[in-house]
Amino acid sequence: MTALSGTIPVFASLEGAPIALKAWILGMLENMGMPEPFLMLVSIQLSILGFFSVFLLLFVLASWFERKILARIQNRRGPNRVGPAGLLQPIADGIKMLTKEDIVPVAADKVLHACAPVLIILPAFLAMAILPYGKNMTPVELEVGILLFFAVSTATELAVFMAGWASLNKFSMLGAMRAVAQILSYELPLILAATSVVMITGSLSLTAMVEAQGGYLLGILPNWHVFTPWGFAAFAMFFISALAESNRTPFDLPEGESELVAGHMTEYSGFKYALFFISEYLGLYVVCGFAVALFLGGWQAPLPFLTFIPSWIWFFAKILCLVFVAMWIRGTFPRVRVDHLMNFAWKFVIPLGVMVLVSAAVWHLAGRGPLGWILSLPPLLIPYWLMARAYGRNYDAGGRVYRFAE
């Protein structure tokens, strides 16, 4: 908090508002004579309730946001009938989803078919617990936070696989196979990109990572990892892999509707389908949240004189920016093909990820400064340039020349 926060008390009080609210409720309960274990339980419940409701709100917003953004990109208006500016559209959608008939194919494996949507939504919620939302606002302080993220996010592929397999539909099966192969392949670059940050920070805890990015270079440029050569490369890798991991366009092959109808979700309807839907958006928020925490300075303000705005507002603003970029990408790019996707992961991103590690190591040794810049750039640029040349040769990307007959 700088002196500015004193002049703007609203922001100052907002900074600690969520924590203060929790403390107030707890204090009130304590005054009522509640026993200690019960208070602890309530405290946990309140934290959970807090981010549960925030993220559900965000999910509701996201579907509205996505529709609006896509519509605007496509020169349409988007939802504008339900509520002001269509803001109640997600609720209408929810009601629609809930009132739809729940169809389970006769031949399906009914237990797994029912388990899959529940299982797919769990990892997102679990991963949310360790996100640092603001200063002292990590719901679960975990020493190995980033490991938890990777551990639970692998459960997604299991759920997708269960959904595809249990539906006993060829499209579902194909979609599930794709999903598993894809998530498995992109897990690796995701871990590599995160490892570079772990190397620099020397900790697996997300809070520590965010705190390591505090401070400003020359008083203006924030010390975020994304503003370093390795950090930028790792961020790009992380973001691309995160898109692939959460099945977003252009990597939405598992559900690629133009070839596989809806992939693993083909045989789902009603509320179960809605759960897949929710998990997609929540997954998007979670991966964006991790990208923010790892590379974009978490809840740190981008400019020193902006620190008066509460940290959690910054965090969510950054998440929303990344989410917007993801939606923008969705509005622009067509879907890649499955073998291209795998080639991209194994032949391009992963080698580059190893080089990012090298670069980060160099940076770690050479230190933040001109020397670090000079030494850590070549291990990134040279392989990038070589690989781009090697793979670019397969296509006439520069444009073809066409003959004309009179």
Partner 1 sequence: MNPPSETGSPSPNPAESPRYRTAGYDSDAQLLEVSLGPQHPSTHGVFRMNVALDGEDVVKLKPVFGYLHRNHEQIAEQVSYLGSMPYTDRLDYFCSLSNNWAYAAAVEKLAGIDVPERAEYIRVITSELTRLVNHTSFLGFMLSDMGAWGTVLMYAFREREKILDLFESLTGSRMMGNYMRFGGCRCDLPPGWLEQARKVVDGYPAFLDEMESLIATNEIVISRTQRIGRLPADKAVNGSMTGPCLRASGVNYDIRKVDRYGIYDRFEFRVPLGDHGDCYDRLMIRFLEMRETLKILRPALRDIPEGPVMDPKARQRNLRPPEGEAYARVEAPKGELGFYLISDASDKPYRYRVRPPSLINLTLLEDLCLGEKIADVMVILGTIDIVLGEVDR
Partner 2 sequence: MGITAKNFIASYTKPESLITEEYPEEKPKLPENNRNFPFLVFDDDPDAGLRCVSCKICERECPPQCIYIVQERDENGRPVKQPKVFDIDISVCMSCQICVEVCPFDAIKMDQEYELSSLDRFDPLIHDRQRLSKSNEYYHSIHPAEAAAVDAVLAEKAARKAGNKKAADNES
Partner 3 sequence: MNATAYILLGILLIASGTGAAVLRNPVHSGLSAVVAFVTLGMLHMALGAQFIGFVQLLVYIGAVAILAVFAILLTRPEASHLPCLRPLRRAVAGAVTAGLVLAALLIAIFRSPSLNREPGPVAEAPVAEIGELLMTTHLLPLQTIGVLLTAALIGAVLFASTNHS
Contact positions vs partner 1 (CB under 8 A): 70, 73-76, 170-171, 173-174, 249-250, 252-253, 256-261, 330-340, 394-397, 399-400, 402-406
In the list partner 2, partner 3, partner 1, none, the entry touching 72 (Cβ below 5 to 8 angstroms by class) is: partner 2
Stretch 112-141 residues interacting with partner 3 (CB under 8 A): 112
Element (H, E) at 24: helix 17-31
Cβ of residue 67: shortest distance to partner 2, in angstroms?
13
Q: Determine, following the binding rule CB under 8 A, whether residue 171 of this chain makes contact with partner 3.
A: no
Q: Is 222 helix (H, G, I), strand (E, B) or coil?
A: strand
Cβ of residue 331: shortest distance to partner 2, in angstroms?
5
Strands 221-222 and 216-217: antiparallel
In the list partner 3, partner 1, partner 2, none, the entry touching 69 (Cβ below 5 to 8 angstroms by class) is: partner 2
Q: Determine, following the binding rule CB under 8 A, whether residue 329 of this chain makes contact with partner 2.
A: yes
Residue 302, preceding bond cis, omega within 30 degrees? no
Binding mask 66-95 for partner 2 (x = CB under 8 A): ---x--xxxxxx--x---------------
Q: What distance in Å separates the CA atoms of residue 160 and residue 295, rounded to the nearest whole number?
A: 28
In the list partner 1, partner 2, partner 3, none, the entry touching 101 (Cβ below 5 to 8 angstroms by class) is: none
In the complex with partner 3, which residue's Cβ is closer, 204 or 237?
Answer: 204
Cβ of residue 288: shortest distance to partner 2, in angstroms?
18
In the complex with partner 3, which residue's Cβ is closer, 161 or 277?
Answer: 161
Q: Determine, following the binding rule CB under 8 A, whether residue 187 of this chain makes contact with partner 3.
A: yes
Q: Determine, following the binding rule CB under 8 A, whether residue 143 of this chain makes contact with partner 3.
A: yes
In the complex with partner 1, which residue's Cβ is closer, 106 or 397?
Answer: 397
| Residue-by-residue DSSP string for 223-262 | --GGGSHHHHHHHHHHHHHHHHHTT-TTS-GGG-HHHHTT
CB atoms within 10 A of CB 102: 12
Dihedral angle of Cα 359, 361, 364, 370, to the nearest 10 degrees: -30
From candidates 124, 130, 177, 362, binder to partner 3 by CB under 8 A? 177
Is there a contact between 262 and 171 (Cβ–Cβ < 8 Å)?
Answer: yes
DSSP single-letter state for residue 285: H
From candidates 66, 93, 157, 252, binder to partner 3 by CB under 8 A? 157
Cβ of residue 151: shortest distance to partner 3, in angstroms?
4
Cβ of residue 93: shortest distance to partner 1, in angstroms?
18
Q: What distance in Å separates the CA atoms of residue 391 and residue 67, rounded to the nearest whole number?
A: 35
User: Pick from 174, 155, 377, 378: which is nearest to 256 by CA?
Assistant: 174
In the list partner 3, partner 2, partner 1, none, the entry touching 35 (Cβ below 5 to 8 angstroms by class) is: none
Q: Determine, following the binding rule CB under 8 A, whether residue 338 of this chain makes contact with partner 3.
A: no
Cβ of residue 251: shortest distance to partner 2, in angstroms?
16
Contacts of 279 (CB under 8 A, 6+ apart): 117, 120, 121, 124, 156
In the complex with partner 2, which residue's Cβ is closer, 47 or 249?
Answer: 249
Contacts of 246 (CB under 8 A, 6+ apart): 280, 283, 284, 287
Cβ of residue 162: shortest distance to partner 3, in angstroms?
7
Stretch 51-70 residues interacting with partner 2 (CB under 8 A): 69
The phi, psi pair for 268, rounded to 5°, reads: -105, 150
Angle subtended by helix axes 170-201 and 350-366, to nearest 10: 10
Angle subtended by helix axes 350-366 and 229-245, to nearest 10: 150
What distances in angstroms separate CA 172 from CA 71, 159, 270, 332, one per listed residue? 29, 12, 17, 26
The amino acid at residue 342 is: M
From candidates 24, 38, 305, 328, binder to partner 2 by CB under 8 A? 328
Q: Determine, following the binding rule CB under 8 A, whether residue 332 of this chain makes contact with partner 2.
A: yes
In the list partner 3, partner 2, partner 1, none, the entry touching 144 (Cβ below 5 to 8 angstroms by class) is: partner 3
In the list partner 1, partner 2, partner 3, none, the entry touching 338 (Cβ below 5 to 8 angstroms by class) is: partner 1
What Rg, from alpha-carbon coordinates, does the chain have? 23
Q: What distance in Å separates the CA atoms of residue 261 and residue 278, rounded to the nearest whole number?
A: 19
Please report, as ranges, the residues that interact with partner 2 according to CB under 8 A: 69, 72-77, 80, 328-329, 331-332
Please report, as ranges, the residues that interact with partner 3 according to CB under 8 A: 109, 112, 142-144, 147-148, 150-152, 154-155, 157-158, 161-162, 165, 173, 177, 180, 184, 187, 202-204
